[in-house]
Amino acid sequence: MKRIGSQSDLSHTGKRACAGNRDSFPIYSDGTVEVIVSEDPAHYYRLHKAPLEGSSVWFTESLSQPFVEAGQILDSEQVRYRYILCAGKEGDEPLLTRVSLVDPPNAELIKLEEAFTTTPVLTTSPPVEGLTSSELTTVTPGTVGTINRSASECSVIIIGSREIAAPDVGRHNTIEIEAEIKARAERIQKRRLEAYNNLFLALYNHEPQIATTSIRIALGQCEFLVRLAELYGCLGVVRAHICASLHQYRDDLFKAIAKDPPRWLLISIPIRSGPIFAEAAIHCIGCWPQWPWKTSWDFIPSRAIALIKAKAFELFHLRANTERNLFLNTISLEARSARLGEGGSHHFDTWMVVAVFRDWLARVIRERREAGKEHLPTYYREMKKAGDAYLPLHTVEAMLFKFSGADFGWWNWLAEDLRLVKKFAEDEVAAITQNNLTLKVEGTKISYLTCSKILESEYPWVEMEDPRVERE
């Protein structure tokens, strides 16, 4: 649907006006704006004009229209504006609509409630992917599961000695699916009503009622609130409230981001939360081009995707240079690197230690690539730990001691040579194993690289100035 109003921090009036106290919300006796979002009296609002105009571009434009209708005589405290929540076109979020003060809104409200709760008609072919209800298309990506059904197939299912045609099973499944869709639609409507309540609280500069014990619930509430704030042109008013509600979770916030970074990336942009955006983006960069999360990257704004690709390209080159330097790793003997066939047997044993390291590195890189896990280079962190995290001394000894002798070497410097090789590798991988997440990766299942850095100037909402443009 077409959004009304700009997405500036405040309305064009440049101010926010507050009237009334928190105890009187949502019904102020001197309020002149009536808002009805449900037949439930708990979701009836009588608000002041000033806070709505001062915070919302949409309300500023709508309330600027004349409020006195033909034949009306209003006293000083009588309602002058009435809005009801009407279902929009299929796929659109329902929007407040200004209606007449003369005619009661009951008939329209009944239609509204039916539109929100009536079970949609399901067709039997082709298979239903996802939820077809226009109400459910507004759910945030990644929060709705997928339902697969094909009642048009005529295969036969044999249970014991009875044969049941698939269409009969399909009809049974249809009832279950319809019940599930209706239940989900009701849950969405409940979340929508919560969002409107939080929106009006924010417009009055009161704290929205966001969950404080479940970050999963809080995220859903904030997503719906953001959607409404975008529609009514008042994102600048709700941003601080949403950021405060989410950041109060501290470590739980960053653990939740790790479970579905793209979803958090989506909400971080409208609320302009740098910490959430950077955290989510680093996860996406480390996994690119893999995308193992529920939320599709098709929903991510193009500017954010461009940043992820650019950072992933930088990470690719960092990996290439790091692995090149690791393969060039050697031990110098008398200002020359250890070489096979030179300097007698005392060069052979040193050369073999270097060869064992290079063989191990080539093997783990190849194994990751063949397993389709090239984006999960856990061997870097093993090299960073050094010690016995990889190629423990006793394993190397078992490999090389069988070649002991005058023609090879006595491995007197084996432990020292292995320590030198690992120390070089530890220093070389320091940059690529740096963790720039707020979340500590130790003890987690995060195996991809998290060394990318996101600058404040790279946030999608930051307008970059072109230095070539001359100022007036």
* Distance of alpha carbon 82 from the chain centroid: 37
Residue 407: the pLDDT is: 63
Give the tokens for residue 103: 């005619």
Residue 140: the pLDDT is: 33
Among residues of the chain, what percentage have pLDDT more than 90? 53
Residues of the chain falling short of pLDDT 50: 1-19, 107, 110-111, 113-169, 340, 344-345, 464-472
Residue 71: the pLDDT is: 52
Burial of 210 (0-12, 13-18, 19+ CB in 10 A): buried
Name the helix (H) or strand (E) containing 219. helix 215-231
Name the helix (H) or strand (E) containing 394. helix 393-400
Give the tokens for residue 226: 């953001």
**How many Å is the Cα radius of gyration of the chain?**
32
Residue pLDDT, tens place only, 288-336: 999 999 999 899 999 999 999 999 999 999 999 999 999 998 887 665 5
Burial of 91 (0-12, 13-18, 19+ CB in 10 A): exposed
Say which amino acid occupies 103: D
Question: Bridge-partner residues for 89, per DSSP?
Answer: none
The SS3 call for residue 10 is coil
What span, in angstroms and rounded, lies between the C-alpha atoms of 92 and 86? 11
Name the helix (H) or strand (E) containing 47. strand 44-47
Residue 101: the pLDDT is: 80
The DSSP result for 282-323, as a single string, is HHHHHHTT---SSS-GGGS-HHHHHHHHHHHHHHHHHHHHHH
| Confidence (pTM) | 0.76
CA angle 321, 326, 328 (to 5 degrees): 95
Instruction: Name the residue among 216, 218, 264 with its Cα closest to residue 242.
Output: 218
What span, in angstroms and rounded, lies between the C-alpha atoms of 34 and 101? 10
Give the tokens for residue 468: 């070539």
The dihedrals phi and psi of 125, each to the nearest 5 degrees, come to: -155, 145
The CA-atom distances, in angstroms, between 467 and each of 464, 470, 471 are 9, 7, 9
The SS3 call for residue 82 is strand
Residue pLDDT, tens place only, 162-185: 333 444 445 557 888 888 888 888
**Strand 81-86 with 33-36, pairing:** parallel
Residue 352: the pLDDT is: 87
Question: Bridge-partner residues for 85, per DSSP?
Answer: 96
Residues 284/310, Cβ–Cβ less than 8 Å: no
Residues 257/264, Cβ–Cβ less than 8 Å: yes
Give the tokens for residue 124: 């039997």
Q: Which residues contact 235 (CB under 8 A, 6 or more apart)?
A: 7, 9, 226, 229, 270, 271
**What angle, 0 to 180 degrees and rounded to 10, lies between the N-to-C axes of helices 274-287 and 251-259?**
40
What span, in angstroms and rounded, lies between the C-alpha atoms of 391 and 396? 6
The SS3 call for residue 378 is helix
